[in-house]
Structure 1
Amino acid sequence: MSTGSPKKRGIVFRFFRFLWRSVKAFNTLVFSLVSLFVIAVILYAAFNQRGPKIPTGAALLLNPAGNLVEQQTVVDAATLLQGNELPQQALVKDLLDALAMAKDDNKIELVVLDLSKLERGLLPTLESIATAIADFKTSGKKVIAVAGNYSQSAIFLAAHADEVLLNPEGMAVPEGFSMYSTYFKSFLEEQDVTVNLFKVGKYKSAVDPFLRDDMSEEDRTARMAILDAWWEAYTVGVETARGMEAGSINALLQNAPEQMRLAEGNLARLSLEKGFVDRLVTDNERRDYLIGLAGEDKQNKDYRRVAYKDYLRATRLPPEQHHSDKVAVITAVGDIVDGNAPAGEIGSQSLSKLIRKARLDSNVKAIVLRIDSGGGSKTASEVIRSELQAAQDSGIPVVASMGSVAASGGYWIAASADEIWASPTTVTGSIGIFGLMPSVEKTLARYGIYSDGVATTPIAGGASFTRGISPAYGEVLQAVIEGGYQQFLTTVAEGRGMDVGAVNEVAQGRIWTGKKAKQLGLVDELGDQEQAISAAARLADVKEYSVIQVEPELSVEEILLRRFSETIASSFPAITNNPVSRLTNMVRQKLGFLGRLNDPNNAYVICSDCPVLP
């Protein structure tokens, strides 16, 4: 049997591809009109290249919108032309670079941290930006946080500002962290859908929603450990930055109804009384206050400012490569899939191509792989790890730098690195594996539809969406999964210098924080990407070096589409931030990985317990 046969691998993949193609078939004249409009705007964006001016003594407006990400998702023309949802994303590196440059820029008087449109960022990302804000403040310049309402992520960033302003009709009170899943067991049984599962690892809960109607105790334990660690880091970070009494946030939230009654149901008042904000100001009062700090832009009747994206376009220069020795940084963000994939996903071939490009550059002395992924295809993960191993075999040290999440397949690709660095609140581990193949033979039988035939071997035609899984084929797949788990354990053991049995003790699909993973030997050091880069240079024994980003080259079309999608997302938030979009995101988050199951061996290393951005 060739488990890698394209025909065999396609049951789930072909089904969801069929659904997608069916949706795309409903293009109408309306979409054609939208297409003409989009093309016109893209052409305008292409030729309207006037550079922004930075007024002296102005404020740098740091106004991230949507989710904080380490790599922006590519929006293709089809997504735009069909009117599909556009992602609102703010690139973390842009925020960090803007703060770093503005720190020593005499033209910048202060930073206005406008968090009105910030939706969410995972804790390690928030901590890195908070550190950059603190570094900026050492210049003696102020940071003023403003918003009509503060999301929970925004509250964390605002806490590190010198002053936090809130609209009297708004709120700035966190609610805590949670992880919930939607379970479909009874629904699938009612529809007579058979869920054929093959897995190893008692904590590997990626398929629990299809097999249970509630959370397993193992899953509950693993998730709660992560949430407790994140909540402690969050509350301590906010309380310390705001000078609040230790434990005051928990005390507030444990008695939230009574606290709201005391505040007469006024969330803005509660936010002020509990120390999350400094002042309640109307929009006009806020504008006047900022004009007093940064001066007035008489043309716009507002305070003088430059938005951070304009600021970066005006000041950011191509990185100077003073030294011939280079440390190459490669970013791997998203689900791991076989083949090629755009930014926002990790394709085995596309990422391997970047690694190979760095390896074949004689000036590259070390590679840093920045990972933010909950995994995906087992085969694709091993292809990527093997390419990194080839770089190591050629004498180039590899350092894995973990972002918010580097678990399951995300950990697999890091396992053989010379050093692994993580944030204390990184979610990692999830060393486990499963195979999932739904089938609807019982559903079809309801309507008198059956399948029968002949085959030359017990496994020929043994996996079918309409016929189900034959016993012999099921045994083969279970053996594939068990062998894959042993391969995972061995890969980790060899990469980490551990005994296979010791790895198994901390594996079983269990997730860990970066801090705990270091104690268990799964991580070498705790630190950010810059520290990982320094470690890579140390391993390569180079003292003076330039840092280069190895990225796929964007076509002119992709550049224009990215700029246009950013403009639409920021200018028309209703398109990207509405109840329907949020519901769509929730469904996609819960079930979306099914459509990406394209491993040729039907073996997956996915962490569904890991917190993800919608």
Structure 2
Amino acid sequence: MRQFFKFLFASCLGTFIALFVIFFIVVGSIGALASKADQATPVSANSVLHLKLNQAIPELMDNIETASFELDPERTLGLHDIIKAIEKAKDDDKIKGIFLEPEMPMASFTTMRTIREALVDFRTSGKFIYAYAPYYAQGGYYLSSVADKVTLAPLGVVDWRGFSAQYPFFKDVLDRIGVDYEVFFAGRYKSASEPYRRNSMSEPSKDQTRAFLGEMYRLMLEDVSETRGLSTAALDRLAATYAGIDPDDALSTGLVDQIIYREELLDQLRGQIGLESNEDINFVKLGGYYNPLLEDVNHGGEKIALLMAEGVIVDGKGQVAQVGDKTYVKLIEELKNDESVKAVVLRVNSPGGSAMASDHIWQALMDLKASGKPLVVSMGAVAASGGYYIAAPADHILAEPSTITGSIGVVSAIPQFQELLKQKIGVHFDSVKTGPFAAGINPAFDMSEGEKALLRARTQKMYETFLSRVSTGREMLVSEVDSVAQGRVWVGTTAKEIGLVDELGNLDAAITKAAELASLEDYHTTTYPTPQHPWERLANELLNPQDALQKMALKEQLGSFYPYYNYLKEMSDGQGMQMRLPFMMDGGF
């Protein structure tokens, strides 16, 4: 027996030592990789900034969901870092121009429009922008249309076709498996529940979608018209006929300037910067050229806090690319109590989510305002439903012209599994109750009329609370808010006309407004929350390999359909009432 325990002890000790050694090897490797990831790339004379932008573009650096187990991950610059990189290149004598190769950018129209405006400004320096792609997704073409020369591969395609909004509907598949939903919603246009109760869009949903898509399409036509020298009417005709699907038509109609192979274009690029035909072009990658952690930061003057609220609003701490109420309430309280913070700019890029979590964040922001610190909201691509709820307390709200906002409404969807359990599986439930509501809202039993009445009343009360919050923040009558609410989605330009936002402008304009309200002349900004480093993500993946592997497998199997799965999962995971934007938009963006 003593020998057994001796061997057992030796085995455990050996395992412990092995794990200890592996831990330090992993930590050491991660530390080295982290250090490598934060090193700047030297820039030599006659360099060209190479922009592909074919990855997701978050608002906050590295704020994207990943599951890759990459041992040498590249940092993902946030939108505002990309803008600063382009601004830096504009004034950098070593950067002679920009080479764009954006085949399939994965970003919203508003995000691409913000980058495009920075490229338009870059051109005022006199430096060149060349664009090339074998296939231009519409977002890639929209961005590239700013270039001095837009080129296409001989067998290429320009996916110029206009906008659409994609709504997945699940009622039939739920019927087939025996699952029904009891749905309660407040707001005539609040269509987030439609996928569970319909197989097609309602007319109110179609009306609001036509309105905001039409306005965004108008903005895109005007932007491309200005740089390509084509009228908006001509561009509309080219979209209607899908002329860009044929490379010769794309050239003859003026969508592109040249049909050419990439290597031939590189020869032209060499001539542009004065290189011999056999010399290599020094392409500088965006991530290597600009690292916000290494840039000189002006810490002089007073501090304006830039709080980034990006992703679905959820209960609890939340994960990467989510707005967890516990995390954000704590952050807001810290900013309120930090005497060095003189004003707060809340950057909202969120379709909403949990009504309860949204309300907790709203209360924290109200407390911050009560402390006397100005609160300014800057809206990104989307600030709708719960995203608008948390924006409502602001002293001043700025939106981009193409921001999707509003959607002031509430929805509850309760699954009912009776048919699935009884008819499909053969499981039956029975109960004894001391009162009509003693079993709670139980998906194993048919919902009583009394339970339905309670949930209907609670949903309506939450809607009235939403109206009240907006009424207080916007200094509007509740009836005035209700007339533009009803769950309706608005685009930024219209939202300004109806009083849901104060001004059209970007993040810089919001920061300037916050400084004005706080009477600041000398100030700097600090971003919250702190961006998660890639090695932190890697460590989390190693600690939770099952979750990471599941995400990798789903993304691999579902491909372009993964966002639809993720949308359905987020809706299903939502606890309680939801303030959520109901759709996914498509158009090559």
Where on the TM-score scale, by shorter chain, does this alignment land: which range?
0.7 to 0.9
Which residue pairs with 2:98 in the alignment? 111
**In the alignment, structure 1 residue 342 sits paired with structure 2 residue 330:** no
Distance in structure 1 (CA, Å) of the matches to 2:265 and 2:26: 36
Q: What's 2:262 paired with?
A: 283
1:462, distance to aligned residue in structure 2 (A): 2.6
User: For residue 578 of structure 2, what is the aligned residue in structure 1?
Assistant: 604
Partners of 1:71 and 1:331 within 8 A in 2: yes
3-state secondary structure, aligned to 1:205? coil
Q: Structure 1's 491 and 232: CA in aligned 2 closer, same or farther, altered over 3 A?
A: same
CA shift, 1:157, in A, is 0.9
Per-residue CA shift, 1:342-374, capped at 9, x if unaligned?
331110111122222222221211100000111
Q: Does 1:326 align with 2:303?
A: yes
Distance in 1 separating the partners of 2:562 and 2:293: 38
In structure 2, what is the equivalent of residue 379 of structure 1?
356
Partner of 1:185: 171
Give how far 1:87 is off: 12
Mapped partners of 1:315, 1:474: distance in 2: 53
Deviation at 1:252, TM superposition (A): 2.0
1:476 corresponds to 2:454: yes
How many Å separate the matches in 2 of 1:560 and 1:236? 43
C-alpha contact 1:62 1:111 (8 A) present in aligned 2: yes
**Which residue number in structure 1 is paired with residue 399 of structure 2?**
422
Query: Distance between the aligned counterparts of 1:87 and 1:594, measured in 2?
Result: 31
Q: 1:20 — aligned with what? A: none
Distance 1:246 1:553 in 2: 40
Equivalence for 1:134: 120
Q: Which amino acid aligns with 1:194?
A: D
Asked if residue 486 in structure 1 is aligned to residue 467 in structure 2, the reply is no
Pairwise CA distance, 1:47: 5.9
Question: Structure 1 residue 461: deviation in Å?
Answer: 1.6
Deviation, structure 1 residue 48: 4.2
Q: State the match for 2:192 in structure 1.
A: 206
Q: Aligned partners of 2:207 and 2:98: how far apart in 1?
A: 42
Give the AA of the match of 1:336. I
Provide the residue aligned with 2:20 in structure 1.
none
Query: Is this contact kept in 1: 2:63–2:532, CA < 8 A?
Result: no
**In 2 relative to 1, CA 595–190 (structure 1 residues): closer, same or farther, beyond 3 Å?**
closer
Determine helix, strand or coil for the equivalent of 2:332. Answer: helix
> How high is the TM-score relative to the length of structure 2?
0.87
Counterpart pick for 1:243 among 229, 236, 249? 229
State the partner residue of 1:99: 86
User: 1:500-554: CA deviations, max 9, x gaps?
Assistant: 1111111110001111111111111111111011111111111221122122364
Look up the match of 1:122.
Answer: 108
**Alignment partner, residue 467 of structure 1:** 445
- Distance in structure 2 (CA, Å) of the matches to 1:556 and 1:309: 13
Match of 1:15 in 2: none
Residue 57 of structure 2 is aligned with which of 68, 77, 96? 68
Which residue of the partner structure matches residue 569 of structure 1? none
Report what 1:24 is aligned to.
Answer: none
Residue 33 of structure 2 corresponds to 45
Contact 2:77 2:287 in 1 (8 A): no
2:370 aligned with 1:364: no
Provide the rounded CA distance (Å) in 1 between the counterparts of 2:102 and 2:121: 19
Shift of 1:557: 3.9
**CA shift at 1:295, angstroms?**
5.6
Q: Match of 1:450, SS?
A: coil
Q: CA deviation at 1:114?
A: 2.1
Distance 1:336 1:311, change over 3 A: same
Work out the number of aligned pairs and report it. 553
Change over 3 Å in CA distance of 1:88–1:241 after alignment to 2:
farther
Aligned-partner Cα distance in 2 for 1:314–1:217: 46
1:236-315 matches, within 5 Å, as 236-256=222-242, 267-294=246-273, 302-313=280-291
Give the TM-score, by structure 1 length.
0.83
Q: What one-letter code is carried by the residue in structure 1 that aligns with 2:450?
A: A
Instruction: Measure the CA separation in 2 of the matches of 1:40 and 1:440.
Output: 50
Structure 2 residue ranges without an equivalent (≥5) = 1-22, 543-551
* Residues 75/151 of structure 1: CA separation in 2 closer, same or farther (3 Å cut): closer
Deviates more, 1:241-250 or 1:66-75: 66-75
Residue deviations 1:286-316, cap 9 Å, x none? 2222222346699x96311211111114994
Which of 383, 390, 398 matches 1:413? 390
Structure 1 letter corresponding to 2:304: V
Equivalent position SS for 2:585: coil
TM-aligned CA distance change 1:556 to 1:406, over 3 Å: closer
In the aligned structure 1, how far is the partner of 2:138 from the partner of 2:51?
17
**Aligned mates of 2:95, 2:554 — CA distance in 1:** 31
State the alpha-carbon separation in 2 of the partners of residues 562 and 277 from structure 1.
45
- Return the match for 2:295 from 317, 326, 329: 317
Compare 522-531 and 301-310 and name the one that shifted more: 301-310
| In structure 2, C-alpha distance between the alignment counterparts of 1:137 and 1:199, rounded to whole Å | 49
Structure 1 residues 236-272: Cα deviation after superposition (integer angstroms, max 9, x where no partner): 111111111231121123334xx58xxxxx7221221
Q: What do residues 213-247 of structure 1 show as CA deviations (whole Å, max 9, x unaligned)?
A: 11100000011111111111111111111111231
5+ residue gaps, structure 1: 1-34, 261-265, 565-573
Partner residue of 2:19? none
Structure 2 SS opposite 1:535: helix
Is the 1:72–1:344 Cα contact (8 Å) retained in structure 2? no
Letter in 2 for 1:345: Q
Change (3 A) 1:72 1:435: farther
> CA separation of 1:297/1:61 partners in 2, compared to 1, >3 Å: closer, same or farther?
farther
Q: Distance in 1 between matches of 2:456 and 2:292?
A: 57
What is the match of residue 482 of structure 2? 504
What letter is aligned with 2:282? Answer: R
SS at match of 2:271: helix
Report how far residue 411 of structure 1 moved.
0.3
Amino acid corresponding to residue 218 of structure 1 in structure 2: P
| Distance in 1 of aligned mates of 2:113 and 2:577 | 34
Aligned to 1:4: none
CA contact (8 A) 1:193 1:439 kept: yes
Letter of the 1:275 partner, please give it: G
The answer to whether the Cα contact below 8 Å between 1:333 and 1:343 also exists between their aligned partners in 2 is no
Per-residue CA deviation, residues 20-53 of structure 1 (Å, 9 max, x unaligned), is: xxxxxxxxxxxxxxx9x99998576346466422
Aligned residue for 2:495?
A: 517
Alignment CA distance shift 1:74-1:421 (3 Å): closer
Paired with 1:468 and 1:480, the residues of 2 have a C-alpha distance of 19
Which amino acid is 2:60 matched to? Answer: Q
Classify the secondary structure of the residue corresponding to 1:56. Answer: coil
**Aligned with 1:176 (options 159, 162, 183):** 162
Q: State whether residues 223 and 609 of structure 1, in contact with CA within 8 Å, keep that contact through their aligned partners in structure 2.
A: no
- Aligned residue for 2:377, secondary structure, equals strand
Q: Percent identity?
A: 32
Query: Which amino acid in the other structure matches residue 536 of structure 1?
Result: A
Deviations 1:115-152 (A, max 9, x none): 13x33322221221111111111211111122221110
- How far apart are 1:498 and its partner, in Å? 0.7
SS of corresponding position for 2:412: strand
Q: How far apart, CA to CA, are the structure 2 residues paired with 1:38 and 1:581?
A: 31
Distance in 1 (alpha carbons) for counterparts of 2:176 and 2:74: 35
